[in-house]
Amino acid sequence: MNVLQNKLNRRRFLQASGAAGAAGVAGLNAIPGISTLEASPGTRARATSDTVVTKSVCQQCSTRCGLDVYTTNGRVHAIYGNPDAPLSNGKLCPKGHLGPYILYDADRFKGPMKRTNPKKGRNEDPGFVPISWDEALDTVAARLTALRERNESHRFVVAYGRGWGPADAGLFGTWGRLYGSSSIGIGHSSICADGSKKVKRAMDGNDSYNSYDYENCNCLLIFGAGFLESFRPYNANMQMWGRMRSKGTRITMVDVRNSVTAAAADRKLIVSPGTDGAIALAIAHVILTEGLWDRPFVGDFTRSRLRFETGKPIDPDTFSENWVKDLPAWWNTTLKDATPAWAEGITGVPAEKIVATAKEFGSTRPAIAVFERGPTAHTNGAYNGMAIHALNALVGSMFAKGGLSYQMGSSAGSLPINPDDYMDDYAREMEGKYPRIDMARTDAWPMTSNMIQDIAKNHLTGSPYKMDTIMFYTVGPIYSGPDCTVWEEALQDVFVIDTSPSPQESAQFADLILPDHTYLERLEVANTYPFQGYPMSMIREPAVKPLYDTMQFGNIMIELGKRMPGPMADYYQQVGSVENVVAAFAAGFENDPGDNGVNDLASFKEKGVWYKTPYLWRQIDGEFYEWDGHRYSIRMSEDDVKAKLLKTPSGKFEFQPAWFTNEKHAAHIQKHLGIPRDMIGFPHYVEPQYQGGGDLHLISPKLPLSAEGRSANLPHTHAVWQPTQGGTDTVYMEIHPQAAAARGIKDRDRVRISSSVGAIECFASVSGGVPKDTVVLPLAHGHWGSGRWAQNKGVSGSVNEVIPNVVEPVSGLVAFSAAKVFVEKV
Ligand SMILES: Nc1nc2c(c(=O)[nH]1)N[C@H]1C(S)=C(S)[C@@H](COP(=O)(O)OP(=O)(O)OC[C@H]3O[C@@H](n4cnc5c(=O)[nH]c(N)nc54)[C@H](O)[C@@H]3O)O[C@H]1N2
Ligand SMILES: Nc1nc2c(c(=O)[nH]1)N[C@H]1C(S)=C(S)[C@@H](COP(=O)(O)OP(=O)(O)OC[C@H]3O[C@@H](n4cnc5c(=O)[nH]c(N)nc54)[C@H](O)[C@@H]3O)O[C@H]1N2
Ligand code: SF4
Ligand SMILES: [Mo]
C-alpha cells in the first residue's frame, strides 16, 4: 500500500519523513562510537510518495506486537505499532522500533557457509567459507539420509526458542515423525516460563499462560513478574498500567529487589528468593479467616455460625464447594497454620504488611494474582505457583470480568495434507522407539514439556544416546541456558547447524551456517500470545526483499524435506513452500471474517491482523455463561465448563490437583522434593534449595531494552541500556552497600562472581535497591560470539556461566533464581 493512500496522520508522517528521524540521528551522533550508524542507509531514507507500509509482527519478545513497517525506495526506515492491531494498539515498547538495526546489522551472515577449521572453541576461528544453498542443503540431506540408513535418525536434534506458528516451528512435529526422530523441535520452554503453565495445567487444567482483563481489574497482586520490564504482553502491559493507575487499581509487587515494577507499585513486598509460597499461603489464610472468599465461586459453610479459625480444622462435611475441590482438606493440612506471623519468619516481610495486602486483595473485586518466573524459577517453583494461583480461585476471578481467562484458538486454516499418508515403514518403526535426547515427557521427567537445558549434559554422558547432528533455530543455550559452558564441551563432536541471521555463540561452534532471513524479510503467520482471550492471528509480510543470500527457516525445513528419501519427499513437494502454508492459514478466515473484515489473504495482508471479539465465556457470580451474540446469557452446564474452561478431571479448580496425585507423578514429586505422599497435591510451603555454594543470592532478570539474548548487537540498546543500573554501554551487578563494604568493594569496581560451576567478571554498582544478601546482574551482555557491538561490554561472560543446571521437577523449569554465588573485588 502506498503510504499517502494509507490513513496516515500528520504527526506520524512527519516522524517517518525525517523531522523526528533527523533528531534521532543527531542524538545518536552525540554518543561516542555510535556515529557509524549515520552511514547506515536504512536509517536515512525519508518517507516520500514511494513509501510503502507493510504489516508485520515484532520479533524482539514473545508479545507479537503488530507493526507498520515503513519502507522507502527499498529501505526500511521506521517502525510503528499497527493501529489496527488490538494488542499493540498503534504503540510499541522501546525495543519494537529497533528492527532496522537487526535488518541492517553490518555483521549479518551474507549467505550459507561451511566450517574449515575442525577445531572448535571460543577462540578458534571457524574459518567459514561461502557455499551455495544447493551444496548446503545437499550436505545436510546426505548426512541425515545416511543416519536414517544406519537406523540412527533419532540422533538428529533440532532445538528452538522463539517460534511463530505453522510456517516455522509448526513444521517440526511432522518433520520429526516422517524422518524418524523424537527430538525435532525441542523447545526452550524449560529455560523460559513453563513453571506457571504447569501450575495452571494442574489446578485448572489449562497448560497455558493466562489472558488478563486488567482494564476491569481493581486490585493486582504481582509475584515476580516484570510487569514494567518484561512480563508479556509487555507493550500491552505498559498501556494497561496507565489505565489501571488512572482508575485507581491497587497494585502490590512481590519481588526480591527494588525492580522498576516494585518501585512503581502502591506497595512492595521484598521477599527472600523462593519464599513466595509462604506469602501466598498467608494471604489465603487471612482471606479465609476474615471471611473474604468469593462464596458464589468457592462455596460456603452449610451452617452460618461456622468459620475458618486459625489453628482449627474444619469438618469437610460442613463446607459445600461450588467450583473448587478440596478446600477443606487444604485448610486442614496447610492453611489453618499458615499465619502472617509464620510467613514473616520465612519471607522477612512484616506480618502487618501481609495482612494489609490480604485484606485489600480479598475485599477489592475484581482482583488478579499474577506470577511468572520470579517465584517459579526455583526448586520449589511449582508449589510457590500453586499457592499464588489458588488466590485467583479464592477471590472468584477465574473467567470473571476483571479476572483471568485463557487464550481462544483462531479460525486459521491448515494445508489439507495428511502426514500419515506419507509415513514409510522406517518412520512407523521409529515412532516411540527412542526417547527424546532431553528425556522430557519420559518417566525421568513425566510432567515436563521440554528439558532443553539437559541436551548437552545428556550428550556428554551418552544417556540416552549421543547426538550426531544438532540444528539451532532462534535459540542460543550456550548463552541463555544454565551452566552454559557445558555446551562448549558437548558440541565438540556434534555436527552443528546454526540458522541465525547474524553471529551468535552457537554459530561459533557451527559446521554449517544456514542463515535465516531477519523477521523484516520474512512471510510468516502467528496466533496471538495470550492477551484478552478473544482469538487473534497476525501476519508478517516482508518489508524488503532479502538483503543477502539467506533463506527463511521454514523453507529450509521444507527444502530439506524434499531432499529426504521416500514418501517424505513427496509430502514436502506437496507442502511446497511457506507461501502455501500462509495461504492455507488465511483461507480459514473465509468462513469466519474478523471484526475488522479480514476474510482472505489479501485483506489479512492489508490489515496485518484477524481477530474476533468478545471472549465467548464468562463466570458471573458463580455461574458460567456463553455469549449469545449480544451478551453472556446462555447458561453453561457443568460438562460444558469442564470441556471449555475448567479442564481438570473434576471440572473444578483443584486445590489438590489429580495431576499431582496420580501414582506416577506423585512418585516423581516425592523423589525430587521429598514431600510426604499425603501432602503432594496441596499447595504448601516447600523450602527452596539454593544452588552454587555461594553466600549471596544471584538474581538475573531481563531488562526493558534487552530482547533475551538477541539484542546484544543493537548499538542503540547500549545507549539507553538500563537507567536504574546507572550506566550506558554496560550493565552493572547491583550489590548492597553493607555487602559491598564487607568485601572491600566500591562503586564501579571490577568484581568476580563465582559459584560451583564457573566464574565471570563485571562491574559493581553499590545500591540500596537490593537486599543485603542478594546481588542482581541482568541477563544482558557477556556475549563472546556475537557481533561487534556485543563484544567487550564489561561483562566477561554470560551470567548463566555461574548458574547451576538445577530444575523445578514438575515443570522442568530451570531454577535460575536459586543460584548462590561468591563476589569478590578483582
Ligand atoms: N524486555 C524484555 N521483555 C521480555 C523478554 C525479554 O527478553 N526482554 N522476554 C520475554 C520472555 S521470553 C519471558 S519468559 C517473559 C518473562 O517474564 P518475567 O518472568 O516477568 O521475567 P523475568 O525478567 O525473568 O522477571 C522475573 C522477576 O522476578 C524477580 N524474582 C526473581 N526471583 C524471585 C523470587 O524468588 N520471588 C519473587 N517474587 N520475584 C523474584 C526478578 O527480580 C524479576 O523482577 O518476559 C518476556 N518479555
Ligand atoms: N540468567 C537468565 N537466563 C535466562 C533468562 C533470565 O531471565 N536470566 N531468561 C530465560 C528466558 S525467559 C528465555 S525465553 C531464554 C531465551 O533464550 P533463547 O531461547 O536462547 O533466545 P535468545 O537468547 O534470544 O537466542 C536466540 C538466538 O537465536 C538467534 N536468532 C535471532 N533472530 C533470529 C532469527 O530471526 N532467525 C533465526 N533462525 N535465529 C535467530 C540469535 O542468534 C540468538 O542467539 O533465556 C532464558 N535464560
Ligand atoms: S513488547 Fe515485545 S513484541 Fe511488542 S514491541 Fe516490544 S519487543 Fe516488540
Ligand atoms: Mo522466556
State the distance from the centre of ligand 2 to the C-alpha of 255, rounded, in angstroms: 24
Higher pLDDT, 153 or 7: 153
Residues with CB under 6 A from ligand 2: 161, 188, 191-193, 473-477, 479-480, 499-502, 504, 516, 518-519, 553, 700-702, 708-710, 779, 799-800, 803, 816
Could you report the per-residue pLDDT of 27-42, keeping only the tens digit for each?
333 333 333 333 344 4
Residue 6 has pLDDT above 90, yes or no: no
The residue whose C-alpha atom lies closest to atom 4 belonging to ligand 3 is 65
pLDDT digits (tens, 9 = 90+) for 709-737: 777 888 877 766 554 555 677 889 999 99
Which ligand is in closest contact with the Cα of 231? Answer: 1
- Residue 80: inside a domain, yes or no? no
Position 727 scores a pLDDT of 63
pLDDT of residue 705: 85
Q: Give the CATH number of the domain where residue 229 resides.
A: 3.40.228.10
pLDDT value, residue 703: 87
Categorize the per-residue pLDDT at 4 as very low, low, confident or very high, splitting at 50, 70 and 90: very low
Domain ends where: 386, 407, 428?
407
Task: Report if residue 794 sits inside a domain.
Answer: yes
For residue 476, report the distance from its CA to the centre of ligand 2, in Å: 5
Of 370, 386, 407, the residue at which a domain comes to its end is 407
Q: Would you call 669 helix, strand, or coil by DSSP?
A: helix
Measured from the CA of 705, which atom of ligand 1 is nearest? 1
Q: Is residue 775 part of a domain?
A: yes
| Torsion on CA atoms 637, 640, 646, 648, rounded to nearest 10 | 110
pLDDT for 724: 54
Residue among 544, 565, 484, 531 at smallest CA distance from 65: 531
Closest CA to 808 of 11, 192, 67: 192
CATH at residue 728: 2.40.40.20
CB of 769 closer than 8 Å to CB of 270: no
The pLDDT of residue 402 is above 50: yes
Cell (9 digits) for 316 = 469437610
More confident residue, 724 or 597: 597
pLDDT digits (tens, 9 = 90+) for 70-97: 999 999 999 999 999 999 999 999 899 9
- Asked if 412 contacts 601 with a C-beta cutoff of 8 angstroms, the reply is no
Q: List pLDDT tens digits, range 477-519.
A: 999 999 999 999 999 999 999 999 999 999 999 999 999 999 9
Say yes or no: CB of residue 163 within 6 Å of ligand 3. no
- Tens of pLDDT, residue by residue over 203-226, are 999 999 999 999 999 999 999 999
**Which residue, 407, 424, 458, sits at the end of a domain?**
407
Q: What sections of 470-517 are H helices per DSSP? A: 477-480, 485-490, 505-508
The ligand with the least distance to the CA atom of 99 is: 3
Q: Which atom of ligand 3 is nearest to the CA of 92?
A: 5
C-beta 63 within 6 A of ligand 3:
yes
Q: What is the mean pLDDT of residues 388-402?
A: 98
Nearest to 255 by CA among 234, 237, 284, 231: 231
Task: For ligand 2, pick from 472, 500, 540, 760 the residue to mutate: most ligand atoms within 8 Å of CB.
Answer: 500
Q: Average pLDDT in the 274-278 region?
A: 98
| Closest-lying ligand 3 atom to the alpha carbon of residue 232 | 1
Q: Residues, the chain, total? A: 826
Atom 1 of ligand 1 has which residue's CA nearest to it? 704
pTM score: 0.95
Residue with cell 517440526: 172
Q: Do the domain assignments include residue 465?
A: no
Ligand 1 pocket test: pick from 65, 254, 697, 702 the residue with the most ligand atoms within 8 Å of its Cβ: 702
How large is the average pLDDT for residues 404-418? 97
What's the rounded mean pLDDT across residues 246-260? Answer: 97
Nearest atom, ligand 3, residue 707 CA? 7
Widest Cα–Cα separation across the chain? 81
How does the average pLDDT of the chain come out, rounded?
93
Q: Does some domain include residue 284?
A: yes
pLDDT at residue 100 above 60?
yes
* Separation of alpha carbons 373 and 192, rounded Å: 8
Q: How far is the CA of 249 from the centre of ligand 2 (A)?
A: 34
Question: Is residue 240 included in any domain, yes or no?
Answer: yes
**Ligand 2: which residue has its CA nearest to atom 12?**
192
* Residue 8 cell numbers, joined: 496516515
Give the pLDDT confidence of 420-470 residue by residue, as tens digits. Answer: 999 999 999 999 999 999 999 999 999 999 999 999 999 999 999 999 999
CB 246 within 8 A of CB 659: no
So what's the pLDDT on residue 514?
98
Q: How many distinct structural domains can be found in the chain?
A: 2
**163 CA distance to ligand 2 middle (Å):** 11
Pocket flag, ligand 1, residue 254 (CB < 6 Å)? yes
Please report which confidence band the pLDDT of residue 149 belongs to, taking 50, 70 and 90 as the band edges.
very high
- Lookup: cell for 558: 521444507
In the chain, the percentage of residues whose pLDDT exceeds 70 is 93
Q: Which atom of ligand 3 is nearest to the CA of 93?
A: 6
Which domain covers residue 711, as residue numbers?
Answer: 696-825
Measured from the Cα of 474, ligand 2's closest atom is 28
Could you list which residues have their CB under 5 Å from ion ligand 4?
192
Q: What confidence category does residue 692 fall into, taking pLDDT thresholds of 50, 70 and 90?
A: very high
Grade residue 571 by pLDDT with cuts at 50, 70 and 90: very high
Query: Alpha-carbon distance 399 to 644, whole Å?
Result: 11
pLDDT of residue 39: 36
Is there an atom of ligand 3 within 6 Å of 61 CB?
A: yes
Which of 248, 198, 257, 141 lies closest to 563 in space, CA to CA?
141
Q: Count Cα atoms within 13 angstroms, Cβ side, for 433.
A: 17
Per-residue model confidence (pLDDT) at position 40: 41
